[in-house]
Every structure is written in C-alpha cells, then in structure tokens.
A and B are shown apart, each in its own frame.
Chain A
Amino acid sequence: MQLEIKERTVGDVVILEMFGKIIIGEGSVQLRDAVSRLRDAGRNRIILNLGGVSYVDSSGIGELVSSYTTTKNTGGRLKLLNLPKKIKDLLMITKLLTVFEIYEDEQAALDSFQ
C-alpha cells in the first residue's frame, strides 16, 4: 500500500494523518477517496497532516489541489499541516504555497477553524 491514512476527529475537525507516498495510482486515489468519503458524510473541515509523507509527485500535488477545491466548493475548508520541505518546494514551484493554508502546529491549525 502506497499510503496509509489515519483519521482523528477533534471537535468538528477531521485530521487525516498520512504516511507514505502520494503518487500517481494508488496513493492519489486513496487521498481522493478519503476526502470524498468525508465530504459525503458532511464533514468538510479537514486538516491533512503530511508530516509522514515521503514522496509526492505531480499527480499527488494535483490531488491535494482537487481535495482543496472540492472541499471549498462545499463550503468547507481544507488545510495542510507539517509539510516536509520537498513538498513545500513542489508547491512553491507551482505557485501553490499561497493557495493553501499551511500550519506547522496542530493546535494552531485547529484554532484557525474557530
């Protein structure tokens, strides 16, 4: 399995902790399915903790963007937590750093939903 996703809930915010690779194929699909399931359940306040992600390709970056836009389109918010440097580099190259809300502290990310 390319990507392992652990789900936690703090109040009405869902934290998806991700471990592994978000790359074309299985990893990207797993992320899409996880966010889609939450959206279908009406849970659209989401934090993606990417601290355990070792590799993301352009497909994975695209999936992060899709997750962000689909969540936003349903009136929710999706934020990123603990970005590894290389993922940050990939977002910067494609001018996406300013699109996402990015946090390095979980509590700060949770507080931002208030």
Chain B
Amino acid sequence: MMLAENVVELTIASQLEFIDLVTTLTDNITSMIGFDEESAYWINMAVRESVANAVEHGNKYDPQKSVDIRFTIGVDALRVTVRDHGEGFDPATLPDPLDPHNLLNPAGRGILYIRTFMDSVEYERHPEGGMIVTMSKRRAPKQPQDLSEGEHHHDAVGN
C-alpha cells in the first residue's frame, strides 16, 4: 500500500523577523495533523532553534543567502528539514552545554534543546554547500475510539 506524504516548503531570507513566519506555519501544521498542545509547543521551539541557527551561525545574516524549510507530513511522523547556505560545521566539535565548565556560557544550548524535543535529529553537509538538519517527531497512533463516530475524544500522546 502506498503511503501518502504531504510536503510544505518555505524559503526565507536570513532575517530573524522571518522566524515567526516559520513557527506560525509550524503551529498550523502540528495542529492540523493532531499533535497535542505540549508536543506542538516543543516542535515549535525545535524549528525556531534550527532556523535561528541557520540565520545566525549558518548564513551569518547574509541577506543573499536563504534558509529553506521543508515539512514532510508522513503518516507516522512529521519530518522537518532546515537548510542554510553557509560554511557548514561539525556538530560533534561543539562544546557540551552540560559540561560543568560550560554551564554558564551565554550560548550553545540550541542543539541540545532540538535533540531533546524531537525524536531524531541529523546534521549533514549539503552536497551543494551549507548544512541541512533533518528532524522528526512521531505522530501519536490513532486510538481505536478515534475511528468510531462516538463522542469520545482522546488527546494525542505527548513525549
């Protein structure tokens, strides 16, 4: 059986002002496909952090470079990719924000939050330049009651 996927794409300039546009779309999508409020909040934050990283650290606010966001709405999961057009980096070389020596650093927590809130997160260099982060969040399985026409409604299961 073929499983359908819906794709929504958005490209923004490297300006912080556009992040809200992306997170508004994120909220619309997570609401549309039935994520509960708690999960939707943290998915919003993971997307916000990824796009902010792409604007700030990836493209370094270069107005000529875009950030490309793709939402793939699968049957089992929502997958989000965020691509920048910068120099790229190796996430393994970033300081561990949980190391006691780094606890009071003013920056460096974004990727930890993304990894915490999403089920899977992968960073890779795009063959044509820039970094691409792919993150996904499983959708809650439908409960048998959801399939009936009864008045029972169940919230999606959170983290």
A residues within 8 Å of B by Cβ? 23-25, 57-59, 61-63, 65-66, 68-69, 86, 90, 93-96, 99
B107 touches A62 (CB 8 A): yes
Interface residues of B (CB under 8 A from A): 16-17, 19, 41, 45, 48-49, 52, 56, 97-98, 103-110, 112-113, 116
Q: What's the nearest-Cβ distance from chain B to residue A99, in Å? A: 6
Number of A-B pairs whose CB atoms are under 8 Å?
A: 50
Partner of B103, one of A23, A59, A95: A95
- The reply to whether A58 and B49 form a contact with Cβ atoms under 8 Å apart is yes
Which one of B16, B41, B97 contacts A94 once the chains associate, using CB atoms below 8 Å?
B97
Distance A95 CA – B109 CA, assembled complex (angstroms): 11
Of chain A, the residue at the smallest CB distance from B16 is A25
**Chain B residue at smallest Cβ distance from A64:** B106
For chain B, what secondary structure do more than half of its interface residues adopt (helix, strand, loop), or is it mixed? helix
Closest B residue to A57 by CB, please name it.
B48
Given contacts A58-B49, A65-B106, contact A24 B16 (CB under 8 A): yes
10 nearest interchain CB pairs? A58-B110, A62-B106, A25-B16, A58-B109, A66-B106, A24-B52, A62-B107, A94-B109, A69-B104, A93-B116
- In-complex Cβ contact of A65 among B56, B105, B112 (8 A): B105
Q: 23 A-B residue contacts at CB 8 Å?
A: A24-B16, A25-B16, A57-B52, A58-B49, A58-B109, A58-B110, A59-B110, A61-B109, A62-B105, A65-B104, A65-B105, A65-B106, A66-B106, A86-B41, A90-B113, A93-B113, A94-B98, A94-B103, A94-B109, A94-B112, A94-B113, A95-B103, A99-B103
Known: A24-B56, A94-B97, A95-B98. A58 touches B106 (CB 8 A): no
Cα separation A63 to B109 with both chains bound (whole Å): 12
With contact pairs A24-B16, A24-B19 given, residues A57 and B106 touching in the complex (Cβ less than 8 Å): no
Contacts of A69 in B (CB 8 A): 104
In the complex the two chains form, what is the Cα distance from A9 to B56 in whole Å?
36
- The residue on B at minimum CB distance from A59 is B52
